[in-house]
Structure 1
Amino acid sequence: MKLYGITGWKNAGKTGLMERLVTEIASRGLTVSTIKHAHHDTDIDQPGRDSHRHREAGAQEVLLSTPRRWALMHELRDTNEPSLADLLPRLSPVDLVLIEGYKHEPHPKIEAYRQVIDRPLLASKIETIHAIAADGPVDTALPVFDLDDTIAIADFILSEVER
């Protein structure tokens, strides 16, 4: 599978860009999956639900299936978080996997950047960032796209993964 990432500081516009890119790339007839890395403890299950009760009882994995979707929840318990490389084989094959976060992993990335963040570009220290999507001018030798120019960013990503 081909991989491309969106990274950046908190509140830089990563999730909105990801959402727009998925819509744009899928509209071109390609299949897209996403992986989102969170630095905080997130629970997609709700207390009181049967699946939550199964997990609380000690199940290692709980697969929840409905007529519209299914989700597999895997409890790490006292083990380490899996690496991106360990997670990728769990996805069904698609044309492109867009990855939000995982800034230090080796896949190519675009950095989302908003002026109000007032932090240095991550691209100055992370060589796997190939372009910047910003809401204003930035000082870099990398290609710079308007953060809202989804079509141009999608074109860039697709040309990169075809190399």
Structure 2
Amino acid sequence: MASDADHAGFEEFARSRAAQLYRSAYLLCGDAHTAEDLVQETLAKVYDRWRRPLGGRIDNPAAYAQTTLTRTFISGRRRRSSGEVPYADLPAAPLADASDGADLRLDLQELLGGLSAVDRAVLVLRYVEDLGVDEVAHHLGITPGAVKNRSMRALARARDRSTT
């Protein structure tokens, strides 16, 4: 059972990391609602580990949360239900984003959207979260060579898509 101090500590952690987790989730998912769900699922998993009486101590909660977020995203994409596609004919057009850099974000979303879940995760962790090859490999449970290979190939596919 978690103590009040453990609960308060987790709440503080969740508040301080939620924005960063959401940013990563949004880039992975490409959809605000799905990103919010992914962050909630991630924080629930982290809290479950956080509140364990024995062996629940997390040495680096931020890294653990990022790894959990990435692996939850990838495993969710493997599920059969992740192939659902929203209905194409929406009743109203979405409002344009009035903030600076909206076009760049849309271009980035479009480029990332054409990649596999693992390739997308590699690029987000490497180039958006600015993690090293070894850190990305650890987060994804793959070898550093696989990270380098996936980065190179995913960037090449993204470049090809951007020129067409």
Structure 1 length-normalised TM:
0.25
Q: Which has the higher strand share?
A: 1
Q: Which has the higher helix share?
A: 2
Structure 2 length-normalised TM:
0.25
The answer to which structure, 1 or 2, has the higher relative contact order (CA under 8 A, 6+ apart) is: 1
